[in-house]
Structure 1
Amino acid sequence: MTSPAKFRKDKEIVAEYETQVKEIRAQLVEQLKCLDQQCELRVQLLQDLQDFFRKKAEIEVDYSRNLEKLAERFLTKTRSTKDHLLKKEQSILSPVNCWNLLLLQVKRESRDHATLSDLYLNNIIPRFAQISEDSGRLFKKSKEVGVQLQEDLMKVLNELYTVMKTYHMYNTDSINAESKLKEAEKQEEKQMGRSGRQDDRQTPRSPDTLASIKSDEKPVRRSSVKKIEKMKEKRQAKYTENKLKAIKARNEYLLALEATNGCVFKYYIHDLSDIIDCCDLGYHASLHRALRTYLSAEQNVETSKHSGLETLEGAAESLEANGDKQKLMETYNNVFCPPARFDFQSHMGDTMGVMCAQQPVEGDLIQRCQQLQSRLSTLKIENDEVKKTMEATLSTIQDMVTVEDYDVSECFHHSNSMESVKSTFSESYLSKPSLAKRRANQQETEQFYFTKLKEFLEGRNLITKLEAKHDLIQKTLGESQKTDCCLASGRRNSSVRKQDSGEAIPLMVESCIRFISRHGLQHEGIFRVSGSQVEVNDIKNAFERGEDPLAGDQNDHDMDSIAGVLKLYFRGLDHALFPKEVFHDLISCVSMESLQERAVHIKKVLQSLPSKTLIIMRYLFAFLNHLSQYSEENMMDPYNLAICFGPTLMSVPEGHDQVSCQAHVNELIKTIIIHHDTIFPGPQDLQGPVYTIPGAGDDFCDSPHCEPPLVEEPAPETISVGHNSEDVTVALTI
């Protein structure tokens, strides 16, 4: 029989197993709950993301609308002004250009933020909704798989429990059988021992007596022994049978135990990981794509904004006062050009329109001229000192207004606490104490500058007035009169000066024009693009030696270098082709809106020039007009040619604003190029060489240097009088 101790131990083993299985079952339940919780958190996260981007989309679209309203408000306000005053893009002043680019940047940001809102609503939010739907569906399927795996695991545990119970039962039976077998063996031993003791205690007897006693006891002893032996054999067989069953049950139990441990290990190590992977299938990748979409949208907005800011930065760097002043004066030629000179209005038939330098007023004029000279010397010294002080003050003001105080990057170095920007910004350049002090210093310096400026301008005006009187008296007295513009003396080489003295058109001018007319009418950028300085010097030196390096049919010279030689000739004259004496009279015509009226006025002014000067002008401007007819090919319309030749042919007198006056000079030269046939007299009124269009059937000109043209040129195109801002900029640098 099984002892109570063994029975209690078996119960403890079973109870321990059941407790372990119960703990596993509780774990499995918690695992499903944990996965459910993760799914709920995931769904909530995706819902929060959708709500966040939905709200952000509303903010972006509101911001976009506000930016659009802001831009339209000021664009509407400035559109009429821009259309009325600035008809050409190249005439836009640099501050106005910055303002327009700023408004365009705001409109660009408005469109970008509207696009951002649309992407949020129609791209990113649907992505999150799709991820949420996919995650719920995949979690449901993964949970079904997990439940099935848990059920299979519980089956394995139940099977182990059954095998263990079977093992315990067979092992108990084996132990019981063994106990019974041992009990039978003890009975057998006991029976055998009792028989031996009886034999020993008996006295010796006769053989006949012993035989009779043995014959009486033998049946009884043999029956009992056989019965015990039979019981022993039966119990031995039972024990052997139960022992075999116990061994097999133990083997099955060990196998089931190993299999169960393997299944439990596999479930916890592999199956759970696979189930979680199934729950996460595509979630992180889809979320990554959605967030990358958001990043792409934001980065493109930043790129667009950065591009617009770079354009605005370029416009800010291009803010330039002199260029704007020239554009303004070009736009309003009739407003800023000098008026016509006042003519002498005779009284009561007085025909004497010049000063009288005869006695008795000659001595008075000489004395007055000396007084003016002395007074001018003193005034110029004083005005130069005022000018130096004014320029130094202006430099101080420019240092004040150009201080690089625009870097506010420190204001954006926030800590994680998101501290207020105001506390950082208050210590910057715009802090009240610093700003008040700087403003006070700047205003004080400006006041001093304008005081000196006023003093300088008043002094210069007085000097100009006294110089005009002094020069007229000198001219009247014959001390510095020079009426003939000696173009030939403008050459620094004696051989060229000698050559030019007897020719109406200098060889260098005629040969260069002839070469360009034959080969370079369609050359892009003629007179605007610089040529080779080495070749320019070689050609110039050949002309100075009395040679003509451009004679013949060779076309192996650089066209830009030939054009450079022609410009170099006029630039090298001691006196510009247009004398300073007629500068004011010519510039005054720029205020006339009608080009025809300008031409008539210019013709009237130029009539006073020597005939030799007029012949060269007629020849040159006829060529420039012919050249401008090919502006579609050579990109040189009358205005661009005027920019190239204006500074060379007409210098701005000292004491005048070079920038504003040069704009008027360019407009004047353009008018002369367009209406050269009206301004200059024809061959009948002015004897001398005349420029003839090559291929027209006549000789190139009537100069002894001329040769018949070798090629025919295409029919001239319509003259283009517009000008391009890029060409202007390039030409001014030549």
Structure 2
Amino acid sequence: MTSPAKFKKDKEIITEYETQVKEIRAQLLEQLKCLDQQSESRVQLLQDLQDFFRKKSEIEMDYSRNLEKLAERFVTKTRSTKEHLQFKKDQNILSPVNCWYLLLNQVRRESKDHTTLSDIYLTNIIPRFSQISDDSVRLFKKSKEVGVQLHEDLMKVLNELYTVMKTYHMDNADSISAEGKLKEAEKQEEKHIGRCVKQEDRHIGRSPDPGANIRFEEKHQRRSSVRKIEKMKEKRQAKYTENKLKAIKARNEYILVMEATNSSVFKYYIHDLSDLLDCCDLGYHASVNRAMRTFLSAEINVEQSKHEGLEIIENAIDSLDATNDKQRLMELYHTVFCLPPKFDFQPHMGDGVSHLCAQQPVHGELVLRCQKLQSRLATLKIENEEVKKTMEATLQTIQDIVTIEDFDVADCFQYTNSTESVKSTLSETFMSKPSIAKRRANQQETEQFLFTKLKEYFEGRNLITKLQAKLDLLQRTLGESQRAGYSIASGHQNSSVKKQGGSHVIPLVVESCIRFISRHGLEHEGIFRVSGSQIEVIDIKKAFERGEDPLAGDQNDHDMDSIAGVLKLYFRGLNSPLFPKEIFHDLMSCVTIENVDEKALQIRKVLVTLPKPTIILMRYLFGFLSHLSQFSEENMMDPYNLATCFGPTLMSVPEGHDQVSCQSHVNELMKSIILHHDAIFPGQKELDGPVYNKGLTAEDYCESPHGDPASAEDVVQDVGTETHTSEDGREHLR
């Protein structure tokens, strides 16, 4: 039985854990309250700005009318003067009078300027702040949903830790109890054997007597009693061994879950919270920047004399920074966003082991578990990296939408003698463009896709964090120093090359996926943009790695988005990107060329330095993408959308460069190659090898009527490894 002291100690441990979890739960609730307060404060700020500019618009309009009345009063007065008659006759008047007329003209011009200013406030700036408020509320709502989901996942992890800790304590208590019973049986056995020995000694010292038969019967009974005690000891020994093993396993599971829990909590407070706050601020600072710059431009053009005061406002606008604001928020509420202390191992009474037990009989189980974790983590990391690239590309698209430099209203203040109304002057401004509704619809659609990918990325990263923590602890315990690597490219190198009578060489996975999409998916909406089933993607990928072609035949029972995902996953898994890093800067210099023909020529000059098999594969792929873009009205994937999907996959940005800005240039490059692939890549007469031909049947996509191309091994090897200049002895095009 458990002593009162042990029971009290167990209760204290449970209470301490519950207190720590309760503090974290309270912290999570305070985080949501903090976000709500930020949202309310932001909406109130935007409402105050709208009220301010509405009142200022009224003041400017009143001021404009007063100026107009002032000018009209003195113009009417001067119309009958001699100076005015002389002015109308030959424009030859005294300079003071000329100054007087110029002053009146300036007042009328100023009146028009302030009318323009009032209209800009009313029809441009106020609607901007209204839209920012709507966007801010929508983004805060979506971010809060993500935050609530993260909190639920975190509490699940904490509850799991609580469950395994209680199981460990119960199993260890059973082990201690069984050990006590075993020791009690051993003491009984020793005591009984000692008593029997004493009785035997007494009988040996005595002479035979008529009661010998009675003593023999007693001796037989004592032996029977000894056997019973031995059997009881054996049972208790087996029970103790069973409970001891169960306690060891429970302790191992508790330590593993504790490590995963600490990693999950660390990941949430260090990474997830920061990312969540970024989502709350998505586009807000840039949108406020645009609205305030509209006000700034109007004020500067109306009255240059206010330049000193407006410089202060400009500095404040230039200081809009989402990163700094986020840091300030976290510093202001540091008790809410600080990382809580790690969970420490709480040993049960008498248990001094605080690490994984890798000895027999659990060693084999841990090794098998480690291998399974390695395999699963390799696949999860590839999948999550693909989601991350898609999310970053989508984020860049949103940044491009909300950072349009459309705040300059200088054209509204170009003074002319024309009598056109202010409304006609403003007909070309940002708020009056017919495309505003379409732009906002595209922005909201892109935001929805971003949050879908964000949730998927958070879930994947959360799972990877937990599994990686368990794997690292297992590897440290088992003494492994190398993690098992996984490369999808190696599988492709061994099994993804197909030869058809020696006529062409294209990796099987590329040819088969393109053939399937060309047959059934050219009009599929969102192809390469919408994620497919990860389970089906993995199944198809593994089939290709075994040398099979799961897409052969005319059946159309596969998910089109999953097929597209397999094709992207192949290029993502290459040891080296299809476009090597060595030519990154040369290709980036081509992006800024405005002349289309000159740009295509320069890109061609850079690409022809690559090995022949690499160019053949590029030519084949971009021929297909160009064909696919011709169905953009049905599949909603024009060249730019395809470039956004394939840019991060085919060409990575080298370290040390601005990933966001460089990625937009990479996408522009891919768009140019898709649009002008015929001018960029050499034809069959110039470069022997297969080409994508949209006019042929599916079986003929890779046929080449000219000569024998390079070997299959060269294609896969050259695509997946680094390329060098002609000084290295590689075969290059001339």
Give the TM-score band, short-chain normalised.
0.3 to 0.5
Structure with the greater alpha carbon radius of gyration: 1
The TM-score, its normalising length taken from structure 1, stands at: 0.40
The TM-score, its normalising length taken from structure 2, stands at: 0.40
